[in-house]
A and B are shown apart, each in its own frame.
Chain A
Amino acid sequence: MAPLTQYLLLLGMGITTAGLVWMLYLIKQSLGQTLDEPGKDIPAESGNLAPKPAWLRYHVHYYGYALLFLAFDMEMAYMYPWAVVYREVGILALLDMGVFLMILFLGLIYTWTQLGLKRQ
């Protein structure tokens, strides 16, 4: 694909995105003026006014969830570039990724055996 075509595509995407945003803004405008009401600023809590923000220290046992999230989040991040070169590299890429996933999967199994996936 010629560079110009690529830039045109990019421009088209930009215009479409801007158009979508503009449309949303127009729809919002068409719904009329919003009235400022104090009730809308408070989180819904079954009719109660939330007495305070949930801005608290977490128990350390949640670190397991954080680690697991991090592991699998990173896995996804590595898979994007891998997907780009997958066709070129072929079966080797599949094996490499298999090893990578297996290591992560072993981590998951280990966490499981340590009751890390149990809520309490």
Chain B
Amino acid sequence: METTMRYGARKGTMNFWRRWLAKAASQELVIFPVPGADLLRMYQSEPLHREAQLADSPKEANVLLVVGDLSAELTERAATVYAQMPRPRVLVMAGPEYLDPLPHPDVHVALEKDFLDTAMPAARECLRRYSWTEEAEPYRPEPLVSKIEEAGQQQGHMHGHGGHGSHDHGHEGHKDSEHTGDEHRHEEHNHSGLQHDETDKHKHDHQAHQHDSHSEHEGHRHHDHGEHDHGHEGHQHKGHNHGEEHQEDDHSQHEEHGHSHEGHDHGGPQHGDHEHDGHDHGPGFMSMIAMTKDLPRSPDGLPMEWSDVQFGPFHPGLPGGLRLSMKLDGDTVVKAEASQGLLGHNLPASVLNDPASLPEYLAAAHPMAPVTYRLLAQKALVNFSGKTPNSTLTLSEAVLLEKERITSHLNWLAVFGTALGSQWMRDQAVKHYHRFQDEAGDASRLSEFIGRIKKMPYLKLKLSTAGKHRVEMEDHNQGHEHEAHDHSGHGHNHGDHAGDEHHHAGHSHEEHKEHEHHEHGGYDHSKHSGHDHSDHEYSGHGGNEGHGHEDHSHQQGSHSGHEEHDEHHHHEHGGHAGHEGHDHCHGSGGGKDQDSGQLPEDMTGPAARAAGIEKDHRLEEPVYQQAGWTPVTAAGNNAWSRLMVRLDEMEQSLRFIARAGNDSGGASSQKIDIPSTGMGNGIAHIESPRGTVSLKFHIHEGKLAHMQLNTPSEALAGIIQHVTEQHELADALTAAASLDISPWEIHH
């Protein structure tokens, strides 16, 4: 144990006082789980009690707990967190034995159910015995050191790039010697064509600096050149804090330092504005117009600087491993996107050579929904080996899926509760999650919990504005009277809706490429349960790249998944007098349409159903059809409707399981033999807790030649921009959390 806690202990020898402190610290472990608490819960049988608690930030933690294998990128971020934790700190790894650049773990345990029972006493022992040691060394991980120091310098400089408007490069007596280490990379600046003769006494009055986006500068950022006059002998950096190393800031050799001011746009015409005659700054000196000329504009037209912030991959209010990169205008989100591939895996050769191992591989690669992915691969293999056109679910498999849906939604609810700041919701969700995970869930208590959430004061008001398509809201005001109607899982009750209350994303018919008008005389919306999906053919679509909707002929009215079709069917329903003239939300989906507020065509799952789109693969499964099952939908397409859909789905799953009675089955363990010769395709679709997952592969002579996995989270990640844009930051984070994106499903 010579090296134990070398990077986690405080420097010094143990004495009585320190031993007492170490013992006290070991009593209460504060765990920072990586990639997140949601994954940790998958390996726990019961919630953490008094002996340990979860930390929201590294500064509160004394244990960094790595759960499972991490990608290199994620490991680097975990190393950053470890470097930021105060000492004494313990590194615990469950699964991997070593992840560079993290140090060797102080405690290593196998990744198995209830591994914390072993890991926590060991971590406690480490803290008790090794909190102080003479062998302690600073943790300076490569390659993080370079990045940290670079970022640290930028912090130290604190060069507020507030306004280059009257940037004066007088530069008398500039010595560049102090610029070591400072790269001066104004990436957005463009000094092209500017002859910076910076050794003479010219006053470059940079009124024409055009800072497209100050927030995007990298390196040497934040020179507050607003009142910056280099022309004086001996710099007078008013409002300009160059940090310790920059007292004699010297710009005379900027060119040699890669001072490439791309984006400054010093192209010819602007040079007319440069004042080169001593201190005469001209009429534009300190002019707000000139200073803010090319800053990005807020919606109200004011020029603002935008800031870049990152949420995740270890943010307590987001799924573990999900990283959101945001641009903020004040506290308003201008741009947001989810980083791709932080947890994605490449298919290992062993699986390629042995397709029979695909179910277990997929289950391990998607730890947030292992049952679904295992079943999906099994169904696809059955489809391949049996050459059957469709591999339907058995009742016991459907029960397994519904059980996973309940636990998955509860696990999401715990994260969502954290995002909302409701400790009660989080704790209750965690409690119920563990009960249902251990097959000891109580349906009535869960229903009671769900009822209490629905009655939480202010929650509906708060969530109804969060995560709503902004454009869509505008469209709603332009004609369609889309009053919120609650479908909450009990079939559509359109009986008394005189007008059009269908949920439409706001697209006019002008955008449609093809329209088909179906006349459904006397169609009764109140009996929506028996949707005729007989024309759906999911399986056997040879070149089905998406979810196989090409052949769909929806006959169930205007609710279900119109947005997903390339062919648009305009349904006219007898008895719906006001229906003809309404714009249906058809559209071809995809990138362009997203800008106009439409959900992309591959959007499935609770998030789609919360927009009124009745898209659910379970409608295709006989076992669900026989049970008279109908999907839960809701209107609103906001965080509240997503919450309602998931809550109602949990209750619906409980009813489904109860109806199935004793036929709850065990884990499906069918062994599929893959013939070593010949070739063929395997296709399967399953409705996971997040939406429809599709697997398609081609097996050639017993080996996996091609595989395509379509996951719901990819589409969900694609709409983050639309549900967060122009929302206040807290609402935007709530909206992102409401989507339930699994970072394991984002592969790109």
Contacts and interface: CB of A to CB of B under 8 A. Distances in A.
Label chain A's interface by main secondary structure: loop
A15 B156 CA distance: 37
A56 B81 CA distance: 26
B148 A42 contact: yes
A63 B284 CA distance: 25
Given A45-B310, A47-B314, A52-B215, A37 B81 contact: no
A84 to B, nearest CB: 40
Interface string B283-302: 00000000010010010001
Interface residues of A, number: 35
Nearest to B308: A51
Given A38-B83, A57-B162, A57-B305, A49 B151 contact: yes
A44 B78 CA distance: 12
B148 A32 contact: no
Nearest to B11: A33
Contacts of B59: 44
Interface residues of B, number: 64
B148 A49 contact: yes
Nearest to B13: A32
B673 interface: no
B309 A45 contact: yes
A95 to B, nearest CB: 37
Contacts of A51: 151, 154, 218, 308
A38 B152 contact: yes
Interface string B466-488: 00000000000000000000000
B246 to A, nearest CB: 15
A31 B137 CA distance: 15
B214 A33 contact: no
Interface stretch (B168-176, B188-196, B326-334): B326-334
Contact of B304 (A32, A45, A47, A57): A57
B221 A40 contact: no
The interface centre, meaning the residue of A34, A37, A39 with most chain B CB atoms within 10 A of its CB, is A39
Contacts of A55: 158, 160, 162, 222
Contacts of B84: 39-40, 42, 44
A47 B80 contact: yes
Given A38-B140, A52-B154, A58-B330, A44 B18 contact: no
A1 B255 CA distance: 73
Contacts of A41: 148, 152, 155
B160 A46 contact: no
Interface in A50-93: 50-62
B152 A42 contact: yes
A113 B172 CA distance: 55
A35 interface: yes
Given A56-B305, A58-B330, A49 B11 contact: no
Given A34-B11, A35-B87, A55-B158, 11 more contacts: A31-B21, A33-B10, A36-B138, A39-B82, A39-B139, A42-B151, A46-B323, A52-B218, A52-B222, A55-B162, A57-B304
10 closest Cβ pairs, A-B complex: A39-B83, A32-B12, A47-B77, A38-B148, A48-B310, A59-B330, A56-B305, A35-B138, A49-B151, A46-B315
28 contacts: A31-B21, A32-B12, A32-B18, A32-B132, A33-B12, A35-B10, A40-B83, A40-B84, A42-B148, A44-B59, A45-B309, A46-B313, A46-B323, A47-B34, A48-B80, A49-B148, A50-B151, A51-B308, A52-B215, A52-B218, A53-B154, A53-B155, A53-B222, A54-B307, A56-B304, A57-B292, A60-B302, A120-B332
